[in-house]
Amino acid sequence: MPLINADGYEFTRSKSRNRLWRKTRKPYKNCIGADPNRNFDYKFGFSGTSTDECSNKYQGPEPFSEPETAVLRDVLKTYNGRISFYLSLHSHGEYLLYPWGYDKIDASNKNELEDVSEAGSQAIFELSGRKYKVGDMANTLYPASGTSQDFAYHEGARISITMELPSGGPAKFNPPPKDIRKYAEESWIGIRAMASKVIEMYSKKSME
């Protein structure tokens, strides 16, 4: 799924002052929208969220209150137990993050998550010299609950990773147009390396 928050994305293109909008466009009593990456039903409201409707991290009134997150939930549940690699693309900061995000505890297959993330980080470094930082979300970046990464992992995705793309521009979320192609190409190299590592890892396990 190339884009979850389509309405939010279109809103960012409507006027320059809306460029950094991150929430959905569902109207609530006091403000518009919820943060879709705090709206998933795994440890909803546990950490790194807000119950303030006007906050950029507003979690929503309940899990899957946003149609955007409900659609992704349905896809993940349809393929429950059959997903080897789930990737959520974000910006910014040059991170490859894995579960858990909601708390500073280790995932059951932390070594595998680390190996896949390191494969992506190394591939990008070899291409561009840019070094993505690797680690679990809560310890490496900040605790955040209700994320798609944690939900996908809880629903059976063996490898679940959040990729925070390179920073750029005054607000760090908007690199100049001249850099976009470069960042896209190096990101693809990293994604391909991670996918290859997942295939290698689990094809070996299936033969054991």
**Residues identified as active-site:** 164
Sheet of strand 95-98, all strands in order from the earlier edge strand to the far edge: 85-91, 159-165, 95-98, 133-136
3-class SS of residue 94: coil
102/9 Cα distance (integer angstroms) = 26
Which CA distances in Å does 55 have to 16, 102, 171, 193, 195? Answer: 20, 19, 18, 36, 35
Tokens coding 16: 């320059």
3-class SS of residue 10: helix
List the helix and strand counts (H, then E) for the chain: 6, 4
Please identify which residue in the block is written with the tokens 């006027």.
Answer: 15
Tokens coding 110: 């932390």
Question: DSSP labels for 109-124?
Answer: THHHHHHHHHHHHHHH
